[in-house]
C-alpha cells in the first residue's frame, strides 16, 4: 500500500519538523542521508547440500549521540531503502527517548519460514560474518526485529565473539537472559506504549472499562500490548494477524487468543472472523497498528474511525494518511515515541553488559515507566503549546537533541567569520 518510496517518505518528515526545531540547516542536511549503508551478499549451505546466496543490509544512519542502534529483520520484502528509512527512524527515536544511541538497522532478504532451524542458524552466522567489520559494542549494536528473536541474536553474538576472539555480549541486545540479555526485554515495546497510553488516560480522563481497543498485528508487540491492556481493564474487542482476525464488541479473552495463536498459528475461536482491513475500519477508541510499514495509506485512511492511534509498528501510516487523519482530529502517538520502549530496554541491556551487572525486573519496569512517562509528557506538552500534532512535536524535539550534539563542534555561524 505504499504511497511513495519508504525512505523518501521518511525524510519528508524532516522538513515539516524543522519549522518547529532549533536545528541549524547543516544538521538537517546531514540527516538527509545515512553515514554508512552496507549491502552484502553471502553464501549459506542448505540442508540438501546446495549453496544459496543471500543479500543483506546494515545501515548506520547517525552516531553523533552514540553507537548506532537498531534491529535486524529477516523478511522477503526487505529492501535497501526500507533499511535506510528504518535506520533514520531509529536515529530520531533514540533522540526522542533521550538515550545515548544513534540510529541503525539491518535486514536480510529471506523468508525464514522456508528454512530449517539449521539453515536459519547458518544464515544468522553468515550474515554476522558479512557485517562484522561495521558492528561493535561502541560502533553499532543490532537487536531483534521482524522474524528474528533471542536465539538468532545469540547465534550472531557468539559468531561475532569468535571473530574478535573475546566474549562480546554488548555487540547485540535482545539476547537470551542466560547470555547477557535483560529482564523485561520481551515485552518492552508493548509495555513502553502501554505506559504512554496510561498517561493519555490520565490526561483525557478515560474510563478503561468503556475504552475499546483493536490491535492490528498479533506478533510479539501486539500480543503483549493486548494482554497488558486487557489486564488493566481495557476492552480489547478485535485483534488480527496476516491471516485474519476476530471481533467481539463485548471484549475478547486475550489470554486464550494468545494461547490459540501460538499453538495453531491462527487468530480464531472467538467472536466473528474479520480481515485485517475490516479491523482497521472498526469504530474503536484506540487502534494499535503493530505489524509492518504503510498499513494505513491514502487508499484506506478514510475507513479508520479510531479516535487515537498508537503506532507500535514502524511507519504504519504514510505521510498522506497521517495528514488526512490529523485533519480529522485523530490523535496519533507516533512510532518514534510509541514503540521506543524496545530500544530503551535495549539500552538498559547494553548498559548492564558494559557494567557487568544485572538489574531486577522491577528495576527495569520502573526505569522504563519513568522514561516513557517523562518523554510522552514532554512531547504532549510541546504539541499542545505549539498547536501541532504529536509526530511533528516528537520530530522537533528529536531534532533539537540531535542538533545540540551535531552543533557542539560548530556550524557556519561561528566558522564564517574566522
* Residue that has been written with the C-alpha cell 484506506 in this structure: 300
CATH number of domain containing 249: 3.40.50.720
pLDDT band at 417 (very low <50, low <70, confident <90, very high): low
Domain's final residue, options 170, 200, 230: 170
Farthest CA pair distance, the chain: 72
pLDDT band at 174 (very low <50, low <70, confident <90, very high): very high
Specify whether 260 is located in the same domain as 333.
yes
Task: Identify whether 353 is part of a domain.
Answer: no
Q: Is the pLDDT assigned to residue 37 strictly greater than 80?
A: yes
SS3 string of 390-408?
A: HHHHHHHHHHHHHHHHHHH
Give the residue among 398, 247, 391, 241 at the shortest CA–CA distance from 325. 391
What is the domain extent for residue 308? 188-338
pLDDT band at 418 (very low <50, low <70, confident <90, very high): low
Whether the pTM exceeds 0.95: the reply is no
Specify whether 78 is located in the same domain as 197.
no
Mean pLDDT (whole number) for 228-254: 97
Mean pLDDT (whole number) for 152-170: 97
Average pLDDT, the chain: 95
Start-to-end CA distance of the chain, whole Å, equals 51
Specify whether 86 is located in the same domain as 161.
yes
Task: Identify whether 380 is part of a domain.
Answer: no
Specify whether 157 is located in the same domain as 253.
no
Task: Identify whether 219 is part of a domain.
Answer: yes
Question: Would you list the DSSP string of 231-243?
Answer: HTT-EEEEEEETT
Task: Identify whether 124 is part of a domain.
Answer: yes
Mean pLDDT (whole number) for 135-157: 96
Mean pLDDT (whole number) for 204-217: 97
Task: Identify whether 182 is part of a domain.
Answer: no
Active site residues: 105
Long-range contacts of 410-415 (CB under 8 A, 24+ apart): 411/24, 411/26, 411/27, 412/24, 412/26, 413/24
Report pLDDT for 3: 40
Question: Would you list the DSSP string of 167-199?
Answer: --GGG-SS--GGGTPPTT-TTHHHHHHHHHHHH
Specify whether 166 is located in the same domain as 195.
no
Instruction: Yes or no: say if 333 and 196 are a contact pair by the CB < 8 Å rule.
Output: yes
* Structural domain count of the chain: 2
Task: Identify whether 70 is part of a domain.
Answer: yes
The predicted-structure confidence for 295-350, as pLDDT tens digits, reads as follows 999 999 999 999 999 999 988 998 899 999 999 999 999 999 999 999 999 999 99
Domain's final residue, options 286, 312, 338: 338
Mean pLDDT (whole number) for 17-38: 94
Mean pLDDT (whole number) for 371-390: 97
Specify whether 193 is located in the same domain as 321.
yes
Task: Identify whether 57 is part of a domain.
Answer: yes
Specify whether 137 is located in the same domain as 72.
yes
Q: Is the pLDDT assigned to residue 4 strictly greater than 70?
A: no
Task: Identify whether 209 is part of a domain.
Answer: yes
CA 368 to CA 175: how far, in whole Å? 18
The proportion of the chain whose per-residue pLDDT surpasses 90, expressed as a percent, equals: 89
Please give the C-alpha separations between residue 344 and each of 142, 212, 337, 340, in angstroms, as whole numbers: 13, 28, 11, 6
* Residue that has been written with the C-alpha cell 504529536 in this structure: 390
* Gyration radius from the chain CA atoms: 21
Specify whether 213 is located in the same domain as 273.
yes
CATH number of domain containing 76: 3.40.50.10860
- CA-CA-CA-CA dihedral for 266, 272, 275, 278, to nearest 10: -150
Specify whether 310 is located in the same domain as 195.
yes
Amino acid at each position: 500500500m505504499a504511497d511513495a518510496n519508504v525512505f523518501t517518505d521518511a525524510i519528508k518528515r524532516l522538513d515539516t519538523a524543522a519549522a518547529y526545531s532549533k536545528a541549524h540547516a547543516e544538521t538537517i542536511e546531514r540527516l538527509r542521508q545515512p553515514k554508512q549503508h552496507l549491502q552484502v551478499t553471502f553464501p549459506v549451505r542448505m540442508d540438501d547440500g546446495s549453496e544459496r546466496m543471500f543479500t543483506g543490509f546494515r545501515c548506520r544512519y547517525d552516531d553523533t549521540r552514540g553507537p548506532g542502534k537498531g534491529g535486524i529483520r529477516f523478511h522477503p520484502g526487505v529492501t535497501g531503502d526500507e533499511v535506510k528509512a528504518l535506520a533514520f527512524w531509529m536515529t530520531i527515536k533514540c533522540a526522542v527517548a533521550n538515550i545515548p544511541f544513534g540510529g541503525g538497522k539491518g535486514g536480510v532478504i529471506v523468508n525464514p519460514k522456508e528454512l530449517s532451524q539449521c539453515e536459519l542458524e547458518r544464515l544468522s552466522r553468515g550474515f554476522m560474518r558479512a557485517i562484522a567489520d561495521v558492528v561493535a559494542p561502541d560502533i553499532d549494536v543490532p537487536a531483534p526485529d521482524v522474524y528474528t528473536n533471542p536465539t538468532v541474536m545469540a547465534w550472531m553474538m557468539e559468531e561475532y565473539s569468535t571473530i574478535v576472539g573475546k566474549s562480546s555480549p554488548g555487540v547485540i541486545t535482545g539476547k537470551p537472559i542466560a547470555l547477557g540479555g535483560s529482564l523485561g526485554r520481551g515485552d518492552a515495546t508493548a509495555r513502553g506504549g502501554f505506559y504512554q497510553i496510561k498517561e493519555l488516560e490520565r490526561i483525557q480522563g478515560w474510563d478503561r472499562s468503556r475504552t475499546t481497543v483493536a490491535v492490528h498485528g498479533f506478533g510479539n508487540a501486539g500480543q503483549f500490548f493486548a494482554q497488558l491492556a486487557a489486564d488493566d481493564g481495557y476492552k480489547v474487542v478485535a485483534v488480527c494477524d496476516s491471516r485474519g482476525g476476530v471481533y467481539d464488541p463485548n471484549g475478547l479473552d486475550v489470554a486464550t487468543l494468545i494461547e490459540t495463536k501460538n499453538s495453531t498459528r491462527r487468530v480464531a475461536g472467538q467472536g466473528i472472523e474479520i480481515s485485517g482491513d475490516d479491523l482497521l475500519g472498526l469504530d474503536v477508541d484506540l487502534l494499535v497498528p503493530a505489524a509492518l510499514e504503510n498499513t494505513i495509506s491514502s487508499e484506506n485512511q478514510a475507513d479508520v474511525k479510531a479516535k487515537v492511534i498508537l503506532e507500535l509498528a514502524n511507519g504504519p501510516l504514510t505521510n498522506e494518511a497521517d495528514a488526512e487523519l490529523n485533519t480529522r482530529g485523530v490523535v496519533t502517538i507516533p512510532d518514534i515515541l510509541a514503540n521506543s520502549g524496545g530500544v530503551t530496554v535495549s539500552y538498559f541491556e547494553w548498559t548492564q553488559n558494559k557494567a557487568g551487572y544485572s538489574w531486577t525486573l522491577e528495576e527495569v519496569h520502573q526505569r522504563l515507566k519513568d522514561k516513557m512517562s517523562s518523554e510522552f509528557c514532554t512531547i504532549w506538552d510541546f504539541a499542545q503549546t505549539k498547536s501541532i500534532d504529536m509526530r511533528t512535536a516528537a520530530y522537533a524535539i528529536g531534532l533539537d537533541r540531535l542538533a545540540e550534539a551535531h552543533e557542539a563542534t560548530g556550524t557556519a555561524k561561528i566558522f564564517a567569520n574566522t
